[in-house]
């Protein structure tokens, strides 16, 4: 398919981009890596009148440590996130997650923030942003605003940005060095979107789990942070009994879709199996790193 015609504007500053987006009156689209946007334009699923390219704006291609948070700029590509030493040191679970993202060609162009904005419920970066208590930093001609991740992901491929806002960075938590993590994803082929995925972190203090985080993707309309599972594991030793209760709880709270890739029942079954593995990995790593 060929796209409908559109204008192209290469912004050289954040203000430039904000003004162009405001001038487009809701019909403009930001282009970052273009890996999701261009196929949608080619299929005419979206028909922007103008593409506003943020790739030439200086300073957005950085990952910076800010106290206990990492700031990931809007033009940081997937390969940069996967190989960055700050991420390796402070959020190794994110490094592991990145290895499941697409293929090298897509990773060379696709951006962390672009994926967050695209809000695919089976994509790794939205789930990791939710798991790591992320904040989305949005800019417009009205200035800057911070959006907590739970308020950002409002539906499948839907975010809570205003039409004239765009994202300049996403901030995420760093994790204490004694944190263990587990990341388990199942897809039909390496690099495909997940049928189901679990990401979890915890510390083990005095023989019990604490600071438990538990996220999932591929099993709902948005990425999920499952407080029920966190509360179930928190304060306990990770016994078979706890893991059984995790499986039972997931079966009752998850409402995945049936589609051409998998049935809802299969996704529910996968979720239980992946959760067991991921929680065990997190526990083992936390015991090793805390000891």
Instruction: Examine residue 95 and tell whether it contacts ligand FAD (CB under 6 A).
Output: no
Q: Which of 153, 166, 181, 183 forms a contact with ligand FAD (CB under 6 A)?
A: 166
User: Total residues at the site for ligand FAD (CB under 6 A)?
Assistant: 28
Q: How many CA atoms within 13 Å lie on the side-chain side of 235?
A: 2
Encoded one letter per residue, x for contact with ligand FAD by CB under 6 A and - for no contact, window 35-54 reads xxx----------------x
Helix (H, G, I), strand (E, B) or coil at 154: strand
**Residue 184, C-beta contacts closer than 8 angstroms, at least 6 positions apart:** 197, 198, 274, 275, 277, 278, 281
The piece of 106-114, 148-156, 218-226, 253-261 that touches ligand FAD (CB under 6 A) is 106-114
What would you report as the CA-atom Rg of the chain, rounded to the nearest whole angstrom?
A: 19
Distance between CA atoms of residues 160 and 17, nearest Å: 19
Q: What are φ and ψ of residue 286, in 5° steps?
A: -65, -40
* Bridge partners, 159 (sequence order): 153
C-alpha distances out from residue 188 to 149, 192, 272, Å: 28, 7, 18
Instruction: Examine residue 167 and tell whether it contacts ligand FAD (CB under 6 A).
Output: yes
Instruction: Examine residue 33 and tell whether it contacts ligand FAD (CB under 6 A).
Output: yes
Q: Which of 18, 87, 93, 123 forms a contact with ligand FAD (CB under 6 A)?
A: 123
Other CB atoms within a 10 A radius of the CB of residue 85 amount to 9
Binders of ligand FAD in range 213-232 (CB under 6 A): none
CB of 215 to ligand FAD, least distance (A): 14
Q: Which is nearer to ligand FAD, 101 or 209 (CB)?
A: 101
Q: Which of 87, 125, 149, 212 forms a contact with ligand FAD (CB under 6 A)?
A: 125
Q: Which of 14, 102, 212, 233 forms a contact with ligand FAD (CB under 6 A)?
A: 102
The piece of 6-14, 107-115, 203-211, 223-231 that touches ligand FAD (CB under 6 A) is 107-115
C-alpha distances out from residue 85 to 70, 89, 94, 179, Å: 12, 6, 12, 17
Instruction: Examine residue 153 and tell whether it contacts ligand FAD (CB under 6 A).
Output: no
CB of 229 to ligand FAD, least distance (A): 22
Q: Which of 95, 118, 276, 285 forms a contact with ligand FAD (CB under 6 A)?
A: 118
To the nearest 10°, the Cα dihedral for 285, 279, 132, 106? 90
CB of 236 to ligand FAD, least distance (A): 32
Instruction: Examine residue 256 and tell whether it contacts ligand FAD (CB under 6 A).
Output: no
Handedness of CA 90, 94, 99, 101 (dihedral sign): negative
C-alpha distances out from residue 43 to 36, 128, 274, Å: 11, 29, 34
Encoded one letter per residue, x for contact with ligand FAD by CB under 6 A and - for no contact, window 168-207 reads -----------------------x-x--------------
CB of 71 to ligand FAD, least distance (A): 14
Chain-centroid distance, C-alpha 58: 24
Q: What residues make contact with ligand FAD under the rule CB under 6 A?
A: 29-37, 54, 74, 101-102, 106, 110-111, 113-115, 117-118, 123-125, 166-167, 191, 193
């Amino acid at each position: 398919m060929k796209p409908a015609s559109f204008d192209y504007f290469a912004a050289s500053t954040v203000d430039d981009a904000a003004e162009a987006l405001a001038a487009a009156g809701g019909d403009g689209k930001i282009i970052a890596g273009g890996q999701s946007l261009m196929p949608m334009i080619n299929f005419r699923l979206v028909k922007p009148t103008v593409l506003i390219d943020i790739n030439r704006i200086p300073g957005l291609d950085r990952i910076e440590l800010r106290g206990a948070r990492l700031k990931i700029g809007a033009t940081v590509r997937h390969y940069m996130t996967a190989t960055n030493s700050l991420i390796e040191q402070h959020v190794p679970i994110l490094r592991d997650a990145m290895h499941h993202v697409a293929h090298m060609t897509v990773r060379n162009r696709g951006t962390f923030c672009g994926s967050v904005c695209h809000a695919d419920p089976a994509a790794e970066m939205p789930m990791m942003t939710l798991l790591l208590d992320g904040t989305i930093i949005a800019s417009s001609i009205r200035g800057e605003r911070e959006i907590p991740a739970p308020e950002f992901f409002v539906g499948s491929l839907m975010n809570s940005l205003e039409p004239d806002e765009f994202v300049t960075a996403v901030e995420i938590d760093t994790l204490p060095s004694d944190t263990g993590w587990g990341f388990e994803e199942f897809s039909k082929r390496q690099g495909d979107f997940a049928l189901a995925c679990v990401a979890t972190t915890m510390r083990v203090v005095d023989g019990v789990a604490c600071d438990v985080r538990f996220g999932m993707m591929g099993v709902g309309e948005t990425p999920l942070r499952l407080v029920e599972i966190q509360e179930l594991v928190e304060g306990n030793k990770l016994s078979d009994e706890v893991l059984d209760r995790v499986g039972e709880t997931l079966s009752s709270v998850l409402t995945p879709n049936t589609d051409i890739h998998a049935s809802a029942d299969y996704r529910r079954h996968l979720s239980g199996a992946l959760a067991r593995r991921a929680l065990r990995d997190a526990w083992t790593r936390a015991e090793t790193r805390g000891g």
